[in-house]
Amino acid sequence: MNFLKNIISSALGVFIGFGLLSIFIISIAIAFGDDTETVVSENSVLTIQLEAIIKDFAPQEFDPFGEVFGTANKYIGLNTLVKAIEDAAKDPRIKGISIETNQLQGGISQLGSIRNAIAAFQTSGKFVYAYADNYDQKNYYLSSIADSIFVSPVGMVDFKGLSSEILFFKDFQDKYGVKMEVIRHGKYKSAVEPFLDNKLSDANRSQMESLLHSLWNELVGVISISRDITIAELNAIADNAMGRTATLSVKHRLVDKVLYKDMYDSRIKSVLNVDELKSVTLMEYMTSTIEMPINTKENSVAVLYAQGDIIYGEGDEETIGQGLFVKELNKIREDNNVKAVVLRVNSPGGSALASDLIWRALEMVKTEKPLVVSMGDYAASGGYYISCNANKVFAEPTTITGSIGVFGIMPNVSELTNKMGIHSEQVATNKGPSYSPFKPIDKAFYTLTQESVDQVYTTFVGNVSKGRGMTFDQVHALAQGRVWTGEQAYENGLVDAVGGLDDAIAYAASLAEVDDYEVLNFPNYDKDLRESLMGIPFMSVKNKLLKEWVGKEHFELFQRLNKLREEKGIQMRIPFVLNIQ
């Protein structure tokens, strides 16, 4: 009896102790939280650094444990970022922009939207300068919009063209007896190709070359205009690494002058005719200008942000789950003040089942209100599936879309366990084929699964053909898992127009025949305290330490492989994710 009392007392003590610790941590976070309001001085310069991860939509939330342990997700929303730059153009206190980015954590299409916002800022007559110790290609793409570009004396511009590297695991599987059983439809569906071969297939190499060249042509096209350098010259610079030193970068007009940072600051002070440089970071300026949206107008346009992998489940800030999205779509559909809907998609796809359930909810919205899609960096496979039925589809020129194909993937360790002397037997009530990772895949099970994959592919192509007003054969010719840029998708009919989110919102409002409207952002990611406490803070700490240990690029590879391992059911997923530096 005393033993039981001791156990209960110990458990109760741990629970109370954990509760007190949680209250203590929250108190510290609140006490040391930065509640000071940003004050913007006269003759200020807006400094754009963009150290946070850029997401299309990043609602602010209170995370006391993340603040204390330094593991809070540091996101910046593209929508609020662009709005802040637009506000700065009209703000008499802001005299110019200084782009001082280092390693940007955003996609090419996102950076294109920021670049366009800065270009609009320039029409106000205010200056835009850029400075960096070194420029990688993302940084240079954004900074090239500046009136003048400066680099440190020992810096460089790493301007070399685009490439994408894919790792192959077939020999690894053969050597260690750990393999992935793959069932697919679509000759371009190369998400699973690394498990089937040791090299690129001709079809995959063809689509990747086409994709990279299309993206590169878009990048050098806008850089050519901004820097007054011909596309042929830019390609020669990339071919011969003519930006590898600061001196060569100036010689070939990639940058305008070589300066140390203090000299750059002095130059800005001279332009402003001031003795002290007053600057405000974009993040600080956003807190001074961006307020919580309050719907004060009768009419509104709802923008629903679909960002991340599509999973079967509730979903959260990182993923698109049918649970949350169907609820939000039903709420939007039933709100009489919402006159039109814009779906902003930035997703490489994922679960076929979840994609179809979201597609159905969008179909129901479309029967009552105009539905317009705006594609961000990715709207591929499942991301394209949920986009294809809109009244109009807008894509950025650098959007990666299409990838209309399907696959299933299952881990199999039968060869490894046999080598280790581990064997399995199954007992069942019926004769239907089943799958076990400890036995070679059964031919009957493979056949049935292939039929399911083929059926999902047929549904995918059929829904696209209805949504796009094309025949099944026309879509099939563009499908089979092939990936296209937004520009290519516009040319082949998979999207209706090349444009950004603002274009999509304006078009949706015009379909609803409303001029005076408010933009409302969805979904609502509100969490209760119980959800906030789940996993604190050990999972975030583990990921942070692993990322610091193996490096950013290797950590991202680990995450992608881990996602493939965890995928369940038939997938509509892009074959690869491009990392462009």
pLDDT tens-digit series, residues 553-572:
555 555 555 555 555 567 88
pLDDT tens-digit series, residues 373-409:
999 999 999 999 999 999 999 999 999 999 998 888 8
pLDDT tens-digit series, residues 224-247:
999 999 999 999 999 999 999 999
Buried b (16+ CB within 10 A) or exposed e, 553-571: eebebeeeeeebeebeebb
C-beta atoms surrounding 530 within 10 Å: 7
* CATH topology classification for 300-573: 2-enoyl-CoA Hydratase; Chain A, domain 1 (3.90.226)
CB of 353 within 8 A of CB of 320?
no
pLDDT at 312: 94
Give the separation between CA 162 and CA 17, rounded to whole angstroms. 54
Residues carrying an active site annotation: 189, 381
Mean pLDDT of the 297-307 span: 93
Q: Which residue has the higher pLDDT, 71 or 157?
A: 157
Which residues share a beta bridge with 378?
Answer: 400
CB of 302 within 8 A of CB of 340?
yes
Assign domain 44-160+241-289 one CATH number from 2.30.130.10, 3.90.226.10, 3.40.50.720, 3.40.190.10.
3.90.226.10
Percent of the chain with pLDDT over 70: 80
pLDDT at 528: 46
Give the separation between CA 67 and CA 186, rounded to whole angstroms. 46
Reported confidence tier of residue 419, pLDDT bands at 50, 70, 90: confident
CB of 257 within 8 A of CB of 482?
no
Q: Which residue has the higher pLDDT, 397 or 183?
A: 397
pLDDT at 543: 56
Do domains 44-160+241-289 and 300-573 share one topology? The answer is: yes
Mean pLDDT of the 410-430 span: 86
Q: For residue 95, what are its two tokens? A: 């005299």
Is the pLDDT at 353 greater than 70? The verdict is yes
pLDDT at 460: 95
Give me the residue spans of the domains in the chain. Answer: 44-160+241-289, 300-573
Is the pLDDT at 205 greater than 90? The verdict is no
Q: What is the pTM of this model?
A: 0.84
Reported confidence tier of residue 29, pLDDT bands at 50, 70, 90: very low
